[in-house]
Amino acid sequence: MFDLTLIGIGTGNPDHLTLQAIKAINAADLILIPRKGEGKADLAELRLAICRDVLTNPATRIVEFDLPVRDESIADYKARVEDWHDRIAGVWRGAIGGALRVALLVWGDPALYDSTLRIAARLVPAKRVHVVPGVTSIHALTAAHGIALNEIGAPFIVMTGRRLREEGFPLGVDTAVVMLDGECSFQNIDPAGVSIWWGGYVGMAEEIIVEGKLAEVGARIVKLRAEARAAHGWIMDIYLLRRG
């Protein structure tokens, strides 16, 4: 039996770490660091850099592991993701061994558009799962642009790029935050009357932000995103769309 702590570390900026996160990192016997392939090696390095900055417990071990890739031959999207999560949980089990207090550093916050909690639920031997909240990319995006997330008394929705492509701008709201979008799905909606606040690597040294009317800046964002991804081998981006 072991305790598992999922630590929100913000969007890659060490300044996003809370005191609670730093204490949780130092309380762990073992910290697991995923490797996502050569093109994303600096994502693992950012986690390691955070540990070098704040880890003062000499007894804490750091173990890196190779993250499995999704099996794209599985046609059904949900089945494909479930299979992927099952295999990740298996890798975690092998890496944990006999450790009693295990921690994983999670981008942003473990409770928002992240599957670490769902994967953790597969680890039956875990005695308890603790969550340390972190700064989300939504917070980093609105802070970078200096805007409020919602209009006065108005709702908003957080969605994926896939949903935006398949369903369009959601009905009943004027503000939509789009995450996990690798295809610039805003190109699939009518840009009339829509503004966009976009950010790549928000909160990090590489941060790029663009705002304006979607019809005027959409193509520029597509170009900037492609160039940034080619330069770094990966990109994390997010954007807010608002009608009216």
Domain boundaries, the chain: 2-132, 137-243
pLDDT of 194 > 60? The answer is yes
Which are the contacts of 170, defined by CB distance < 8 A and separation ≥ 6? 157, 159, 176
- State the fold for domain 137-243: 3.30.950
- Each residue of 37-79: pLDDT tens digit? 655 556 788 889 999 999 999 999 999 998 898 899 998 988 9
Does an H or E element contain 77, and which? helix 77-96
Counting residues of the chain whose pLDDT is more than 90, the rounded percentage is 76
pLDDT score of 60:
96
Q: How many CB atoms lie within 10 A of CB 1?
A: 8
236, 74, 66, 34: CA torsion to nearest 10:
40
Which pTM value belongs to this model?
0.85
CATH classification number, 2-132, choose in 3.65.10.10, 3.40.1010.10, 3.60.150.10, 3.10.20.30? 3.40.1010.10
Q: Which residues contact 87 (CB under 8 A, 6 or more apart)?
A: 68
Reported confidence tier of residue 126, pLDDT bands at 50, 70, 90:
low
Judge whether residue 202 has pLDDT over 70.
Answer: yes
| CA gap 137, 155 in Å, rounded | 19
Structure confidence at residue 193 (pLDDT): 97
Q: Could you give the CA distance from residue 78 to residue 83 in angstroms, rounded to a whole number?
A: 9
Residues 240, 197 contacting (CB under 8 angstroms)? yes
> Which percentage of the chain shows pLDDT scores above 70?
95
Q: What is the pLDDT of residues 14-38, one digit of tens each?
A: 889 999 999 999 999 999 999 876 5
| pLDDT of the residue at 125 | 62
CB 164 within 8 A of CB 232: no
Q: What's the maximum distance between 2 C-alpha atoms anywhere in the chain?
A: 58
Contact status, residue 202 vs residue 209, Cβ threshold 8 Å:
yes
Token pair belonging to 16: 């996003």
What pLDDT does residue 48 have? Answer: 92
Q: What angle do CA 182, 32, 20 make, to 5 degrees?
A: 90
pLDDT score at 79: 93
Q: What is the pLDDT of residues 102-115, one digit of tens each?
A: 999 999 999 998 99
Please spell the DSSP secondary structure of 109-123, one letter per residue. Answer: -TTSS--HHHHHTT-
Number of C-beta neighbours around residue 51 at 10 A: 18
Mean pLDDT to the nearest integer, 73-102: 92
pLDDT tens readout for residues 167-181: 999 999 999 999 999
Rounded to whole angstroms, the Cα distance separating 177 from 240 reads 4
Cα 170 from Cα 154, distance rounded (Å): 14
